[in-house]
Structure 1
Amino acid sequence: MDEYGERLTKLAYNYLKDWNLAEDVVQDVFITCYHHFENMDTIVYFKSWIYKITINKCKDTLKSLYMKRVIHDSNLFRFFHAKELTPEMSLIYQSDEELLSISVLSLPIKYREVITLYYYEELSIEEISELLLLNKNTIKTRLNRGREKLKVIMERSEGNGGKANKFT
């Protein structure tokens, strides 16, 4: 838990965009690890295994009816359609690192997951390929397209005074 807890929570956050849900998913992942403790010696690549469990649990959470109902019924959308950012939101966008993080989170999931695994988790293309059960060339293509989309988002944000277009 000490070694993977924070990294898995950040990974889950990249999928769910909600820190509390990410923490819940990571708790479930560690419970799964506990239940498979006696089989740990048969797991060849523990890091890949635990990341795969985290990704699958995030995807399950996103697919659940509860999640869809909470998102559609909540008042969160009024913030996304606001013309001006609140002072709190303006502070978030001040640093380049935070702008990059927000831009990555605005990518479609198929690009966001490979960008996150490659750049933030420093996994190789081969490891990502095994983790997501995708061809290496598919991973490379998604990385390239994700970078292109990220570049466009970042350019738009910079041209917009550092505000992400998603909120304007």
Structure 2
Amino acid sequence: MVFQIEKDTWLESIMDEYGERLTKLAFNYLKDWNAAEDVVQDVFITCYKHYENIDKITSFKSWIFRITINKSKDVLKSSSIRRVLINSNIFNSLSSKEQSPEIVMIERDENELLSMCVLSLSIKYREVITLYYYEELSIEEISKMLKINVNTIKTRLNRGRAKLKK
């Protein structure tokens, strides 16, 4: 019984810590918030099932991100999903209460524009941009997570930045 309580507490803590970030990551692939939430729920079920092996995982963050990416790609491959670009302000940063409403609106518009531009990139650029800038992973971590050469990650980052500048 104590083991079950520890397991449930652990799951709640990772849900609190990673839930929103994983949903945003999945949304980045799926462009559908409900589908992203379903993927993240499935990720947490996978984590729960692998609780006994958690100490064998060298980087939990990379592991859980990799699961989310793989499950998102699986959903994209399935014939039941059709990607739809929806208006979203997913990457809006929280504004300070001291800013004027005008500044807040300008920043929100800029953040929405940036979010939409990132979401309009092809998946190979979008995933590295998101992991590097929004999840603050290093190029090496991204390389291991996606199982792609470091130089390829650097190239995709540079090309993704160039596309965003346009």
Q: Give TM-score scaled by structure 2 length.
A: 0.76
Indicate yes or no: 2:21 matched with 1:7: yes
2:161 match: secondary structure: helix
Tell me the amino acid that sits aligned with residue 122 of structure 2: P
1:12-161 correspondence to structure 2 within 5 Å: 12-68=26-82, 95-152=109-166
- Output the CA distance in 2 between the equivalents of 1:11 and 1:56: 11
**How large is the RMSD of aligned CA atoms in angstroms?**
1.9
Identity of aligned residues (%): 73
> How far has the Cα of 1:146 moved from its partner?
0.3
> How far has the Cα of 1:67 moved from its partner?
1.1
1:3 match: secondary structure: helix
**Which runs of 4 or more aligned residues in structure 1 lie more than 3 Å from their structure 2 counterparts after TM superposition?**
none
Tell me the amino acid that sits aligned with residue 140 of structure 1: K
> How far has the Cα of 1:141 moved from its partner?
0.1
| Unmatched tracts of structure 1, length 5 or more | 80-90, 153-168
Q: Which has the higher relative contact order, 1 or 2, with Cα contacts under 8 A spaced 6 or more apart? A: 1
- Output the CA distance in 1 between the equivalents of 2:80 and 2:111: 32
